[in-house]
Amino acid sequence: MAEVPAKLEKGGSWVTSRIDIGNDGIVLKDPWNVTVSYRSIVDLQKRGQMITLLVSMPDKTERPYKIASVEKVLTIVTKKIIMACNAYRIMAHFMSPAIRGGVLVTDAKWEKGAIAVLKTGIWFVSQDKQISVPLKEVASLELTKRELQKKKLDVIKIDHLEGGEVVTSFILCPLSTLQVLYNFLRDATKDMDMKGSELDQLDAQTAQVAMLIYSGMDTKSIENMLSLPPEELNAIYETLLKLKLVDVVMVRKEVQLTPKGVRYITDALKPPS
């Protein structure tokens, strides 16, 4: 057991405490004073200097525990949990991030480690890296091929959103395992699949608008680039909104001057007397 300092949350309050990191579980001291076995952990989320464990209780309910600590401690705890928690897990190679916003990451390399699919996210853990991809941020999954040491090997390509950027990662492992992992991930993210009836509503122009939104163009730029009147673009936005392909981030106003406004401008432009 290794005892390390940490802050533990209970009822909205944080208590300066300690945790014991063991081989089979983790002991959360004051205010919880509980032993959590790694096998009972069904989910792990990391946000900044804090992790949240979701623990399956004997009465079938799930209880969250929040731990805040320094990065070094969280890295050790995270690795222990990912390698032993209740999740679908395989040993594999991964490259993450490989592409960011459409630009190849120059120092991207294959890392040897474990891939674990938990309740709300996919974790990549190697000697040097710990990366989590929330399932709700997974934009697309594809079984494809990638050249490695002059051989074309089967890989899973995952596109996911990270702070508004589209990030691409790759997973490499034996094909039989890869297929199982792919099916598992497809199933875990099936809510994102487009239905045939939804695809029917997307014509070529709507797809072009979606592509321009992806590239970061604003409404005015899209109108100019596609020579679209505002009403037509609004109708396309409505289709995209209805299909949950976009969110409204800002409502812009078009205004015109009132008589009072015209008087103000006229007065403002008069030369000083």
Partner 1 sequence: MGRILIVDDTLFMRTLLKNILSSGGHEIVGEAEDGDIGVTKYRELKPDLVTMDVVMPKMNGIEALKAIKALDANAKVIMCTAVGQEQMVKLAIKSGARGYIVKPFQAPKVLEEIGNVLGA
Binding interface with partner 1 (CB under 8 A): 99-104, 144-147, 152, 165-166, 168, 208, 211-212, 214-217, 221, 225
**29 vs 100 by CB, closer to partner 1:** 100
What's the one-letter identity of residue 27? V
Give the nearest distance from C-beta 156 to partner 1 in angstroms.
14
Measured CA to CA in angstroms, residue 167 lies from 58, 204, 214 at distances of 38, 25, 12
**179 vs 208 by CB, closer to partner 1:** 208
- Annotate 54-100 with three-state secondary structure: EEECCCCCEEEEEEECCHHHHHHHHHHHHHHCCCEEEEEEEEEEEEE
In 3D space, the residue among 186, 157, 160 whose CA is nearest the CA of residue 95 turns out to be: 157
Return all residues near 136 (Cβ < 8 A) that are at least 6 apart. 120
Give the nearest distance from C-beta 212 to partner 1 in angstroms.
7
Give the nearest distance from C-beta 216 to partner 1 in angstroms.
4
Element containing residue 154 per DSSP (H, E): strand 151-162
Give the nearest distance from C-beta 251 to partner 1 in angstroms.
22
Give the nearest distance from C-beta 134 to partner 1 in angstroms.
19
The phi, psi pair for 190, rounded to 5°, reads: -65, -20
**108 vs 114 by CB, closer to partner 1:** 108
Cα–Cα distance between 20 and 27 in angstroms, integer? 5
**17 vs 169 by CB, closer to partner 1:** 169
**102 vs 261 by CB, closer to partner 1:** 102
Give the nearest distance from C-beta 182 to partner 1 in angstroms.
16
In 3D space, the residue among 44, 47, 113, 124 whose CA is nearest the CA of residue 85 turns out to be: 44
**144 vs 201 by CB, closer to partner 1:** 144
Residue with tokens 């029917």: 200
Give the nearest distance from C-beta 245 to partner 1 in angstroms.
14
| Helix %, strand %, coil % of the chain (to 5) | 30, 40, 30
**35 vs 215 by CB, closer to partner 1:** 215
Q: Which class for 5: exposed (0-12), middle (13-18), buried (19 or more C-beta within 10 A)?
A: exposed
Measured CA to CA in angstroms, residue 250 lies from 220, 242, 247, 264 at distances of 13, 17, 9, 29
